[in-house]
């Protein structure tokens, strides 16, 4: 008998509803299989514990009056659906924005079309780079808002690490942005600036995930 | 159905049972060879080892005050971990010694607990806030991230993703596709072979030492951190190294280092053979050093 076959018959074995031949086969398997012995012992433990549980549990007080009152007050209010996703709306928005920013930046960086005529020619060399820059900043701001709400759930040491590294990234973004303003056609500078932005978004995303765990 | 009820009841009993005891807790059960194993711990150590059995086995040492140990699941997957005591800021460390089928898909999450993984062949997804992460073996896909803990990996793998903010990352072995990312921590890739690689940092030091493969593609980026690139003297690859406001030091080839056009930096560009590898290194104000690999 294999362990899988034993596993399938374990319920009936514990219920003592197997015929003698089958039961002997399982007994034989148990003698030679430590993991099945452990499993069987655990299941017996569960059954024994379950047997000691009360058949029913009365609530400490009658809850129905409170429930009825809430239902009644809700009935007098304008119908508002219970929308659990509202709690997650900021995160969802941030995720959507992050995806959108990534897509926009990728498309823009991969385009090699002539510049589109705009009404402010003086800013034309800047428009491609700095539009993406602004979008990264907006995405980071959204994540920072979510992080601020959950910051109290992080250990002080983690907050210190987070702040130190975010400050390093912010300083890098400021430096790279200033250099890009002076040299807007520099592809290496753009790559470094987008890289710093991505690092910031990634770190913020990881930190917000920590606040939820 | 009845078995599920047993399991639920067992979990309930386990959650309120003997977890506070300091004596080792031992649990085990049969699982599928490729089952999912999820482990969470706060402080202490989680050690996971792959073995050639279709079962999971855990021995946990949970000191008083560390929380409650829980273990449950079915043949398709198990979950184990510590439910921390409410209202406590500091917990004693718990030790988990876990054995899983080599093909199990393992997920581990901790706060300060270190994570030690070996002998897995499928996938591992590891996350710690400040604990060290150490992985060895032939795991196919590995993802490990930490906020401040070090990550030390020695694997033969197809896909490796390692991230840390302030911790140090070291990757050794043989990998098809690797990505290492830090903010201020140092990152080192020392690989016998690598098809595609990306290393990025803001202020950490990057060290890249790998056998370049034909058609391989490698990108190394830093803002202020230095980048060390060590290649065999007979390497076949096109190099494109730029330090926008830093320096490029070439101790490997006879190719000249040139000043950049508009900025105060330097660059080095070389071309390779027909099916050559491409390596791009760029930094804003760090130094890129190209050196001969001292050992294979």
Looking up residue A188, the CATH number of its domain turns out to be 1.20.120
Domain shared by B204 and B162, yes or no: yes
Counting every residue written for chain B, the total comes to: 296
* B118 occurs within a structural domain: no
Indicate if the alpha-carbon torsion angle B79, B85, B88, B91 is positive or negative. negative
Q: Report the percent of chain A where pLDDT is more than 90.
A: 13
CA atoms within 13 A on the CB side of B254: 0
Domain shared by B85 and B201, yes or no: no
* B115 occurs within a structural domain: no
What radius of gyration do chain B's Cα atoms show?
A: 23
Domain shared by A35 and A91, yes or no: no
> Which residues of chain B does A4 touch, with a Cβ-Cβ cutoff of 8 Å?
30
Backbone angles phi, psi at B193, to 5 degrees: -155, 150
* A169 occurs within a structural domain: yes
Domain shared by A137 and A187, yes or no: yes
Domain shared by A38 and A123, yes or no: no
* B121 occurs within a structural domain: no
Domain shared by A31 and A97, yes or no: no
pLDDT of residue B9: 46
> Which residues of chain A does B74 touch, with a Cβ-Cβ cutoff of 8 Å?
none
Indicate if the alpha-carbon torsion angle A142, A146, A147, A151 is positive or negative. positive
Question: What tokens appear for A45 in the block?
Answer: 């433990």
Indicate which of A46, A160, A203 best probes the interface with B, i.e. most B CBs within 10 Å of its own CB: A46
Domain extent, residue B173, equals 132-296
Domain shared by B70 and B148, yes or no: no
Minimal Cα distance from A3: which residue of B?
B30
Q: What is the mean pLDDT of residues B231-235?
A: 87
* A75 occurs within a structural domain: no
Contact B203, B224 (CB under 8 A): yes
Interchain contact, A199 vs B109, CB within 8 Å: no
Domain shared by B203 and B279, yes or no: yes
Q: Is the pLDDT of residue B156 over 90?
A: yes
Minimal Cα distance from A197: which residue of B?
B202
* A138 occurs within a structural domain: yes
Domain shared by B206 and B287, yes or no: yes
Domain shared by A94 and A35, yes or no: no
Per-residue pLDDT of chain A (213 residues; tens, 9 = 90+): 777 777 778 878 887 888 888 888 888 888 887 777 777 776 776 676 666 555 554 544 555 556 556 555 544 444 444 444 445 555 555 666 666 556 555 544 444 333 333 333 333 334 455 677 787 888 888 888 888 888 888 888 889 999 999 999 999 999 998 888 888 888 888 889 989 999 999 999 989 888 887
Question: What tokens appear for A114 in the block?
Answer: 């002539």
Domain shared by B81 and B193, yes or no: no
* A29 occurs within a structural domain: yes
CB A200: neighbour CB atoms within 10 A?
A: 25
pLDDT of residue B14: 44
Domain shared by B95 and B163, yes or no: no
Domain shared by B28 and B153, yes or no: no
Interchain contact, B129 vs A4, CB within 8 Å: no
Report the alpha-carbon distance of residue B77 to residue B278 in Å, rounded: 42
List residues bridging with B219 in a β-sheet.
B198, B280
> Which residues of chain A does B55 touch, with a Cβ-Cβ cutoff of 8 Å?
35
> Which residues of chain B does A184 touch, with a Cβ-Cβ cutoff of 8 Å?
none
Domain shared by B170 and B56, yes or no: no
Domain shared by A172 and A114, yes or no: yes
Whether chain A has a CB inside 8 Å of the CB on B13: the answer is yes
Domain shared by A128 and A191, yes or no: yes
Q: Is the pLDDT of residue B204 over 60?
A: yes
Q: Is the pLDDT of residue B91 over 50?
A: yes
Domain extent, residue A164, equals 85-212
- Buried b / exposed e over B24-37, threshold 16 CB at 10 Å, is ebebbbbbeebbbb
Report the alpha-carbon distance of residue B66 to residue B45 in Å, rounded: 13
Question: What tokens appear for A154 in the block?
Answer: 């992080």
List B residues 257-296 in contact with A (Cβ-Cβ < 8 A): 262-263, 282-285
- Of residues B263 and A17, more confidence is placed in A17
Number of domains observed in the structure of chain B: 2
* A46 occurs within a structural domain: yes
Q: Which residue has the tokens 């975010």?
A: A166
Q: Is the pLDDT of residue B261 over 90?
A: no
- Of the candidates A128, A130, A144, the one whose C-alpha atom is nearest the C-alpha of residue A177 is A130
Domain shared by B198 and B247, yes or no: yes
DSSP string, A7-30: HHHHHHHHHT-S-HHHHHHHHHHH
> Which residues of chain A does B203 touch, with a Cβ-Cβ cutoff of 8 Å?
168, 172
> Which residues of chain B does A204 touch, with a Cβ-Cβ cutoff of 8 Å?
none
From the CA of A179, how many Å to the nearest CA of chain B? 9
Report the alpha-carbon distance of residue A44 to residue A30 in Å, rounded: 14
* B165 occurs within a structural domain: yes
From the CA of B165, how many Å to the nearest CA of chain A? 7
* A48 occurs within a structural domain: yes
- Of residues B4 and B36, more confidence is placed in B36
Domain shared by A44 and A122, yes or no: no
Interchain contact, A49 vs B30, CB within 8 Å: no
Domain shared by A171 and A93, yes or no: yes
ipTM: 0.84
Domain shared by A37 and A93, yes or no: no
Q: A197: part of which helix (H) or strand (E)? A: helix A187-212
pLDDT of residue B296: 53
Question: What tokens appear for B197 in the block?
Answer: 């690689």
Q: Which of B77, B99, B121 is the last residue of a domain?
A: B99
* A70 occurs within a structural domain: no
Number of domains observed in the structure of chain A: 2
Domain shared by B175 and B296, yes or no: yes
Domain shared by B136 and B72, yes or no: no
| Sequence-ordered list of residues with C-beta below 8 angstroms from that of B59, at least 6 positions apart, any chain | B24, B25, B26, B96, B97
Whether chain A has a CB inside 8 Å of the CB on B38: the answer is no
* B89 occurs within a structural domain: yes
DSSP string, B174-196: EEEEEEEEESSS-EEEEEEEEEE
Interchain contact, A210 vs B3, CB within 8 Å: no
- Of the candidates A18, A75, A174, the one whose C-alpha atom is nearest the C-alpha of residue B223 is A174
Q: Which of B74, B99, B124 is the last residue of a domain?
A: B99
Domain shared by A159 and A201, yes or no: yes
Domain shared by A197 and A147, yes or no: yes
């Amino acid at each position: 008998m294999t362990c899988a076959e034993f596993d399938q018959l374990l319920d009936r074995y514990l219920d003592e509803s197997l015929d003698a031949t089958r039961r002997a086969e399982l007994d034989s398997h148990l003698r030679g299989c430590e993991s099945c012995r452990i499993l069987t012992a655990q299941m017996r433990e569960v059954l024994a514990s379950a047997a000691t549980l009360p058949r029913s549990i009365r609530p400490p007080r009658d809850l129905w009056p409170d429930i009825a009152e809430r239902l009644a007050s809700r009935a007098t209010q304008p119908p508002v659906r219970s929308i659990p996703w509202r709690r997650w709306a900021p995160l969802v928005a941030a995720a959507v924005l992050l995806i959108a920013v990534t897509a926009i930046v990728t498309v823009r960086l991969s385009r090699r079309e002539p510049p589109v005529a705009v009404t402010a020619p003086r800013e034309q060399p800047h428009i491609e780079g700095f539009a993406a820059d602004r979008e990264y900043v907006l995405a980071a701001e959204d994540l920072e808002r979510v992080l601020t709400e959950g910051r109290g759930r992080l250990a002080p040491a983690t907050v210190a690490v987070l702040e130190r590294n975010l400050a390093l990234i912010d300083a890098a973004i400021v430096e790279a942005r200033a250099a890009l303003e002076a040299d807007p056609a520099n592809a290496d500078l753009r790559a470094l600036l987008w890289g710093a932005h991505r690092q910031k978004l990634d770190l913020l995303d990881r930190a917000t995930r920590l606040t939820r765990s | 159905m009845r078995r599920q009820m047993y399991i639920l009841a067992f979990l309930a009993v386990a959650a309120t049972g003997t977890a506070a005891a300091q004596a080792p807790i031992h649990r085990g059960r049969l699982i599928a060879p490729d089952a999912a194993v999820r482990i969470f711990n706060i402080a202490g150590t989680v050690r996971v080892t792959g073995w050639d059995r279709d079962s999971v086995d855990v021995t946990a040492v949970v000191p008083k005050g560390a929380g409650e140990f829980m273990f449950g699941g079915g043949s398709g997957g198990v979950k184990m971990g510590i439910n921390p005591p409410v209202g406590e800021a500091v917990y004693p460390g718990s030790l988990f010694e876990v054995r899983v089928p080599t093909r199990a898909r393992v997920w581990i999450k901790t706060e300060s607990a270190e994570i030690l993984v070996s002998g897995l062949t499928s996938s591992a997804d590891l996350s710690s806030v400040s604990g060290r992460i150490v992985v060895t073996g032939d795991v196919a896909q590995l993802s490990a991230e930490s906020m401040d803990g070090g990550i030390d990996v020695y694997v033969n793998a197809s896909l490796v993703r390692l991230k840390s903010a302030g911790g140090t990352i070291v990757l050794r072995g043989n990998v098809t596709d690797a990505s290492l990312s830090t903010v201020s921590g140092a990152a080192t890739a020392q690989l016998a072979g690598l098809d595609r690689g990306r290393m990025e940092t803001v202020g950490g030091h990057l060290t890249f030492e790998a056998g370049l493969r034909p058609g391989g593609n490698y990108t190394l980026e830093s803002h202020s951190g230095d980048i060390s690139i060590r290649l065999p003297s007979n390497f076949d690859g096109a190099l494109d190294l730029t330090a926008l406001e830093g320096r490029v030091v070439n101790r490997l080839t006879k190719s000249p280092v040139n000043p950049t056009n508009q900025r105060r930096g330097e660059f080095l560009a070389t071309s390779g053979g027909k099916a050559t590898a491409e390596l791009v290194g760029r930094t804003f104000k760090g130094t890129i050093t190209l050196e001969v690999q001292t050992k294979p």
